[in-house]
């Protein structure tokens, strides 16, 4: 059985994961307008991953006998000054999500919920990968600078990314 405190913490994080999905969907629209289909693909995959992360937590709460309470999702931004600015926000957001997963782990430790700790370790590992991936795209964009040919070549590279549904837990 999940504690009330742990249940509330998971519900808060489910909302944050759904916001992440919403944010990346908005960013996908930004790159659609720029006609950068590789970036669209990268963000489409991020959108799907964030949805899977939210649903993993949703299912976990129910499995542990808890109740999921969905809240309103904040409206994300819709425009960025540049692809670099957009990916600076991607990286910043992933770092924020990592801090949120760490806070969830703190609640699990405080409530001595070892099952939640075990479950959340997967998310922590995933966040390390998410930060590395976003940081890699950002670093390449900064290296490219104003070189439009290099940007188009990088866009083609991002188009090759494939969605692999995560096996959570």
With tokens 């709460």, the residue in question is: 61
Q: How many CB atoms lie within 10 A of CB 53?
A: 26
Mean pLDDT in residue range 27-34: 98
Mean pLDDT in residue range 90-106: 98
Domains detected in the chain: 4-71+80-158 (1.20.1260.10)
Q: Are 13 and 104 in contact (CB under 8 A)?
A: yes
pLDDT at 120: 98
pLDDT at 77: 97
What mean pLDDT, rounded, does the chain reach? 97
CA angle 96, 102, 77 (to 5 degrees): 20
Band of residue 169 on the pLDDT scale cut at 50, 70, 90: confident
State the pTM of this model: 0.96
Q: pLDDT of 46-72, one tens digit each?
A: 999 999 999 999 999 999 999 999 999
3-state secondary structure the chain: CCCHHHHHHHHHHHHHHHHHHHHHHHHHHHHHHCCCHHHHHHHHHHHHHHHHHHHHHHHHHHHCCCCCCCCCCCCCCCCCCCHHHHHHHHHHHHHHHHHHHHHHHHHHHHCCCHHHHHHHHHHHHHHHHHHHHHHHHHHHHHHHCCCHHHHHHHHHHHCCCCCCCCCCC
Mean pLDDT in residue range 116-125: 98
């Amino acid at each position: 059985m999940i504690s009330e405190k742990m249940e509330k913490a998971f519900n808060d994080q489910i909302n944050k994961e759904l916001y992440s999905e919403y944010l990346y969907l908005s960013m996908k629209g930004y790159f659609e307008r720029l006609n950068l289909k590789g970036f669209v693909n990268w963000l489409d995959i991020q959108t799907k991953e964030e949805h899977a992360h939210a649903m993993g937590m949703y299912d976990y709460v129910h499995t542990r006998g808890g109740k999921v309470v969905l809240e309103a999702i904040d409206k994300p931004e819709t425009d960025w000054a540049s692809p670099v600015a957009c990916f600076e926000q991607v990286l910043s957001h992933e770092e924020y999500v990592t801090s949120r997963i760490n806070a969830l782990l703190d609640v699990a430790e405080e409530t001595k919920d070892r099952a939640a700790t075990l479950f959340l370790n997967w998310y922590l590992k995933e966040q390390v990968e998410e930060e590395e991936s976003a940081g890699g795209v950002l670093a390449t964009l900064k290296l490219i600078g104003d070189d439009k040919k290099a940007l188009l070549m990088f866009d083609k590279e991002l188009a090759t990314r494939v969605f692999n549904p995560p096996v959570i837990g």
